[in-house]
Amino acid sequence: MSKSNFTRRGVLKTSALGAGALALPQYLRADGHAGFTNAPGDSEVVLGFNVPQTGPYADEGADELRAYELAVEHLNGGGDGGMLNTFSSKVLDGTGILGREVKYVTGDTQTKSDAARASARSMIEKDGAIMITGGSSSGVAVAVQALCQEAGVIFMAGLTHSNDTTGKDRKANGFRHFFNSYMTGAALAPVLAANYGTDRKAYHLTADYNWGYTTEEAIRASTEAVGWETVNTVKTPLTQTDFSSYIAPVLNSGADVLVLNHYGGNMVNSLTNAVQFGLKEAQANGQNFEIVVPLYSRLMARGAGENVKGIFGSTNWHWSLQDEGSQAFVRSFGTKYGFPPSQAAHTTYVQTLLYADAVTRAGSFAPCAVAEALEDYEFDGLGNGKTLYRGDDHQCFKDVLVVKGKENPTSEFDLLEVVEVTPVDQVMYSPDHPQMGGADASLGECNNGA
Amino acid sequence: MDQIIVQILNGLDKGSAYALIALGLTLIFGTLGVVNFAHGALFMMGAFCSVVLSRILSSSYKVVDESQTDFLGNPLQVDVFYVQDWFGDAAGATIMDWAVPLAILFSIPVMIFIGFAMERGLIKHFYKRPHADQILVTFGLAIVLGEVIKYYFGANPIQSPAPEALSGRVDFGQWLGYGPNTIIYPMWRLVYFFFSAAIIAGVFAFLQFTTFGMVVRAGMADRETVGLLGIDIDKRFTFMFGLAAAVAGMAGVMYAPIVSPTYTMGMDWLVLSFVVVVVGGMGSLPGAVLAGFMLGIIESFASMPAVVDLLPGINQIIIYLVAIVILLTRPRGLMGRKGVMED
């Protein structure tokens, strides 16, 4: 008679324990011994690109994804190297990151905070992504940044312009290369004063969400500082498509400037409606009526067509810049895809290189080591001149571009012209600036995760 | 007072679109008994008819211009438009400029075909199913159509301007005895209003004064009896589906210069249009038109800064508030008929 050590109860217990272990999120088990979430193996490292692949910003998302693929190609030694050749740091040598081949997974933010968090969580827990990057909305950036902080991975923000991302909602694990509303105001106001004078009365139409509020606040503060008066501020629903009810009262409001704190489809439609109502040709207070669009995107400008001509705004980067880094990136991207990159593509490409560079300089993938390498790091050659990743709030400080809709474009991409490169000193602010959350704003503690 | 007049004009303009979409919805519901949640998608596809025709008319071939360079420093490839090659520069430019009005002619057969295909291919299988099933399947269809458009045209809005000759402004105030530049209104929006009025009048005249229309109205009142008279009412109702699709499509074409077409525009209009239909009274064509204009005007007034300052957020809920009040006081809507959706 044989006697087995296996009992029914024992098998059940073992199975239950095994199933439990398998069900654990990967970042709580795999390489937990390394002391940080999703420590990579010896051969490859996985990055998570979380971009809007569906929804209203899907075109920006597609451009971001192209840039990420290009960055991965360059990091792994493919293509012409792009900005690796112009980057002031020379530690990246085309052998991946710390000798590991760079792989990536993608998620769809849908430009919805919940969906973006779910896709980021999936990439961290199921795919083992060690860094999350991307997004084309401040609401999404703030939400995903908070998730990455909890999970103990680095978040390299994509296109997010709200002050809050590195202001009141800043996090120790989150980093932003893109500029913000405050910088737009600081760069734009002097140009507006020089072109339109200081005796102006502004009427703001503002998208009714976080980014709209911080942009309105920044533009108001900076234009009032140069002598402008704010006549009225009106919030418009994010879902609004026909702005006629909001535009019609503007001309008889006593204002002579309309500021459209709108982005994306909102901007295209509100600007189109404003032009249809004749605001561009109108006179008010004895002066030409003017329209201002604080944040421009080339992809959006194309949607607004001829209406953008002559209208001032700001942008993080533009493909027509003549510095070595920008030219290298435009050449790589243009050769691969057949058209010039957008500012969304630029910032995401740069963020990927900066992350890889920081890991290499730190000699570790541990998020806190990477964060330390990024903090107060100064670099050049990535398209915006000398740039500082400030340690106090993890915001990049660099020159800001003031642009204007081009009067005589030569192609469908040639819609904006750079009218001024505002020096970084002019857009600098203290980390406890009231628009940035004041003295209460804090990065908190860096989190290495598991 | 001038602001009130402007908001009435805005309301009539917005109401025109509501009325046209609601008219089509009511036609389909009244004839086929189908609650068509894909009707907003037909409006969106109409708007994209203008984009498609504009692209067809702007078809071009490339010619290398050695004197200019592209963004990569290569010789610039300049577009030469076929219409300008064929008809000369001025005539070609005029044809391209008038793409939106020409798209009305283009959209009618396209939208009738899409309507037929939708009805014969999918919706006819749901005639005898509960309204919940019809809503689910047509809502799904709306999502599919939106995604198809996004796949081919991208997610960003696409500019579709009105012809230069109709892009100006009208000094409406002077017509009413005000001083110059008191009430300036975009000419295209006035064109849209009169166009909508003509389409609405045309649909009513068709139903009222033609034999075909008479049979359709009889079928709407008593489908079974009309069938017993030997009339193939199903065929005529299918035609009405096509007609409703064409009305929605034309509304979309003409709206394209006002709001740049994007794949989401069908969903933006759908829910509001259903509210319009319910407020007007299910199955009532005059009710749909009346409610469309009424709710358009109320919404415009609710969006005035003075009103929003007084009641923040009112602009986003006013239509629903009005709908609640009307349905509480007149449960069948403004002009609803007894027995419709009451079984």
CATH 3.40.50.2300 residue ranges for chain A: 44-179+321-393, 182-315
For an interface test with B, the pick among A57, A108, A213, A244 (most B C-beta atoms closer than 10 Å) comes out as A244
Q: Is the pLDDT of residue A5 over 60?
A: no
ipTM for the complex shown: 0.84
Q: Measured at the alpha carbon of residue A292, what is the angle toward residues A289 and A293, in degrees to the nearest 5?
A: 150
Q: Answer whether A253's CB lies under 8 Å from A284's CB.
A: no
Q: Give yes or no for residue B144 having a pLDDT over 60.
A: yes
CATH class in words for A44-179+321-393:
alpha beta
B155 and A CB contact within 8 Å: yes
B-chain residues near A252 (CB < 8 A): 2-3, 182
Tell me: domain A182-315, CATH 3.40.50.2300, correct? yes
Helix axes A367-374, A343-362, angle to 10 degrees: 110
pLDDT tens digits, residue range B284-329?
889 999 999 999 999 898 888 888 888 888 888 899 999 999 999 9
Cα–Cα distance measured from residue A125 to residue A107, given in angstroms and rounded to the nearest whole number: 13
Contact at 8 Å (CB) between A365 and A355? no
The H-or-E segment that residue A49 falls in is strand A44-51
Per-residue pLDDT, averaged over B214-230, amounts to 86
Buried b (16+ CB within 10 A) or exposed e, B218-227: bbbeebeebe
pLDDT greater than 50 at residue A27: no
Across the interface, do B184 and A304 touch by the CB < 8 Å criterion?
no
Candidates B13, B55, B71, B272, partner chain A, best to mutate (most A CBs within 10 A)? B71
A218 vs B34, residue with greater confidence? A218
Residues 47-66 of B with CB under 8 A from A: none
Over the stretch B244-271, which tens digit does the pLDDT of each residue have?
Answer: 999 999 999 999 999 999 998 888 888 8
Scanning A332-391 for CB atoms below 8 A from B yields 334-335, 339-340
Q: Which of B55, B68, B260 to mutate to test the interface with A (most CBs of A within 10 A)?
A: B260
Residues of B in Cβ contact (< 8 Å) with A340: 71
* A residues 388-427 lying closer than 8 A (beta carbon) to B: 410-411, 413-414
Q: A371 CA to chain B: closest CA distance, Å?
A: 35
**B314: nearest CA in chain A?**
A237
Task: Quote the minimal CA–CA distance from B321 to chain A in Å.
Answer: 17
- Give the pLDDT score at B28: 87
* Chain B residues with beta carbon closer than 8 angstroms to that of A241: 259, 265, 268
Span B90-118, pLDDT tens digits: 999 999 999 999 999 999 999 999 999 99
pLDDT bucket at A33, cuts 50 / 70 / 90:
very low
Interchain CB contact of B171 with A (< 8 Å): no
Q: Does A322 touch chain B (CB under 8 A)?
A: no
The mean per-residue pLDDT over the stretch A374-394 comes to: 97
Nearest CA-CA partner of A365 in A128, A131, A92:
A131
Contact B159 A248 (CB under 8 A): no
Taking only the tens place, the pLDDT of each residue in B118-136 is: 989 998 888 888 888 988 9
E-strand spans in A109-221?
Answer: 131-134, 154-157, 174-176, 201-207
Q: Do A245 and B300 touch (CB under 8 A)?
A: yes
Give me the domains of chain B, ranges plus CATH numbers.
2-54+102-329 (1.10.3470)
